[in-house]
Chains A and B, each alone.
Chain A
């Protein structure tokens, strides 16, 4: 099982990946820039994401908004920013491929002449409203701010969220936009993947025609930083919520690093679905919690694992913490059952197969090719990525759980209803979040 593709690198450094799939008369255009919030500095956070918004506001040769011509051609399109990368995609009827390449190349090569103070100020207002909607006015919405700030020291590039700090967003100026664009938005820091109803040779010629004339740009030094927790960090804050919620987080291996797949499966068997250990104990049997979930959040430099549970009325986060740590200790001591390992393998196979169904969007085949190319320089990694999950053993999973889910080195966050601080996990100190 794999995604067949051709790869070429243009003279200006742009990687071009092409996958043919003629099932549906559509083609996905997916462009990654290897820049995310980890390329920001303290005091200038939120910028990579704000910049993503500006990329939809028009460029020198089409200064009327990015959506209109593409939606008129029947496209769907979007973009997203995370700590490590920013992506932009269109899924278009195959006859509109050239239009999409024209649009993408114009904003890569010629964005700045069209970027006015008015657009900038409007999109800053939009982003501040995005922050209000998805974080400030949402129950538990400020949890990521508190967790990342506790996991990583203030100068670490994973210390802040992608949406950024309000004060930083309000302070940023148009000059910073220009500098950021010149530094990160160029062919040498980008990878484009086309997947769908195209002829690979013709498509490559079109990409070369539209992107080949853009200047390469200066090479970018990879961001490097390390972090570890010397012990426990225990914090809480009060929120407009009815039920208290507990978050446990640990430093874990980076994306694709040794232990990453083990922790994916470990967090799955702990809390993914009703067959999982924590659901069974906390929600089904003891009824301490109304919900529980867990994930290995692997990123380019380093990852973090997280377990989240909401207390049922009448129960405290101290009870939840004890039960969760107890189950993790049991996993670290005894490892998974044979059946859990088998389940993990089948689920990985199924998940990988489901991903092959679509050429574009977030997580489709074009996005997958770019992820492997940008993070590993190896777009053919699909079958080896799946193989990582097939070689997980009882011993390797147990070892990873014991090593990384260490009760003595973690961040414990309690979010409690206003005025109900006693519900927080014991010995927590108040955290300031906004």
Chain B
């Protein structure tokens, strides 16, 4: 039979996914234990979330939270760091720690027959880390080396500098690793004090997803974490002062073949009522391959391998950021086009019915895909725990996104983005790009030292 290629086949209806339900209980010390039964493959993915991250770094101690997170796997009791990792390796475990502005996360995935042993190791790490003087000194050295290496990485330089430009001394103004000066000054006592204060059960949620049941997991969690103590919960300190940042900034990278570009401003927190329309708006502007920004800078002009935008929703107001690596000779053009696209979607060039339908479909029709693996489900549950989202959040996501209108997109983008307040940062060859950038009418070009952050 000859295929009819005069038109594309219409997708048929797909059965909806029953979203995984989360069983919950709380240990006496306040640790919340959440489980999701997902037994396609005999493994369990543990995610331990503590709602304290780099924004909890005390003033003058940038990097302390991340340093503490990095110390969790460096031994416990008599067990050295090496012995701890040998124990994990014996289980074939995948282990990772991650630090964000509002959260510290330790995760372990193992074959389900090793679940109890893995949980025991995870609890040693999180609740009873050794935090020995010699290990602190060694890890500090490694983190300083890492900082040194980041000076060579244009994207890392841009991320650090951009946060500082937007937020100044606000708790979101530094990247989690901290600075050379702050890291050098941190002591083992600082790490121990931070661990005692911040890494505590009342701020934590243990999420287990996989071939497991709630009663069994709650019992294992009580055995592993029952002795963990810490002060009761208290609100995280609120934000700090914000000062207006300069609008056009360059960190020099002489001779660079590309410019690393960041354009953005402080936008909104995760609790904004505008969350869903902003997600749709960002998808259309720069959140997918066929977004306005990527089609313009990549598919039309060939200036970059990829360009994208994101609202980084956090507990406090997070940044909106456009990022791209663009060829040096096209830097000014890329900046001009980017700002024009951000301004355009606020009203002058509202999203079309076609764009809106595509953006909504991209977000909703493939939603089931985000709940395939145990790790994915664990990460989804983590969002609920971190941002206090309701249990029916996933059920409601698709219908809520489907209600978003073109007017709503213009309205929320006008509300949260302001072209006059955008900050532009370029890490690149200032001699080659400076004159053209200066002619864009974005104000005086400020040249920043790479060591200023």
Q: Which positions in A face B, CB cutoff 8 Å?
A: 21, 23-26, 60-62, 65, 67-69, 71-76, 91-96, 98-99, 102-103, 105-106, 110, 121-130, 132-134, 136-139, 209-210, 213, 240-243, 273-275, 280, 283-284, 287, 290, 310, 312-313, 339, 342-343, 346-351, 353-354, 356-359
Contact = CB atoms under 8 A, between A and B. Distances in A.
Contact of B367 (A74, A106, A242): A74
Given A136-B258, A346-B91, 6 more contacts: A99-B11, A123-B302, A126-B299, A273-B89, A275-B89, A283-B142
B149 A310 contact: yes
Interface string B1-41: 11101101111111111000000000000000000000011
A209 B111 contact: no
A122 B92 contact: no
A341 B311 CA distance: 47
A72 B41 contact: no
27 contacts: A23-B372, A61-B5, A61-B6, A71-B362, A72-B361, A72-B362, A74-B362, A74-B365, A93-B366, A96-B365, A128-B327, A129-B302, A129-B305, A132-B257, A133-B304, A213-B3, A242-B148, A274-B81, A339-B86, A343-B86, A347-B89, A349-B92, A350-B94, A351-B92, A353-B43, A354-B109, A356-B41
Contact of B3 (A76, A91, A102, A139): A102
Q: Which 9 A-B pairs have the closest CB atoms?
A: A74-B365, A125-B302, A350-B92, A74-B366, A95-B12, A93-B14, A95-B14, A96-B11, A61-B5
Contacts of B92: 343, 346-351
B17 A73 contact: no
A357 B14 contact: no
Contacts of A347: 89, 92
A139 B151 CA distance: 10
B90 A139 contact: no
Nearest to A110: B5
Given A210-B3, A242-B149, A357-B374, A136 B368 contact: no
A318 to B, nearest CB: 19
A405 B277 CA distance: 57
A392 B2 CA distance: 52
Contacts of A284: 81-82, 138
Interface string B82-106: 1001101111111000000000000
Interface of B: 1-3, 5-6, 8-17, 40-43, 73, 81-82, 85-86, 88-94, 109-111, 138, 141-142, 145-146, 148-149, 151-154, 256-258, 288-290, 298-300, 302-305, 325-327, 357-358, 361-362, 364-369, 371-375
B288 A71 contact: yes
Contacts of B14: 25, 93-96
B82 to A, nearest CB: 6
A133 B152 contact: no
B365 A132 contact: no
Contact of B82 (A74, A128, A280, A350): A280
A411 to B, nearest CB: 24
A139 B154 CA distance: 9
Contact of A290 (B142, B289, B327): B142
A274 B11 contact: no
B290 A274 contact: no
Given A122-B302, A275-B85, A290-B142, A357 B41 contact: yes
B110 A350 contact: yes
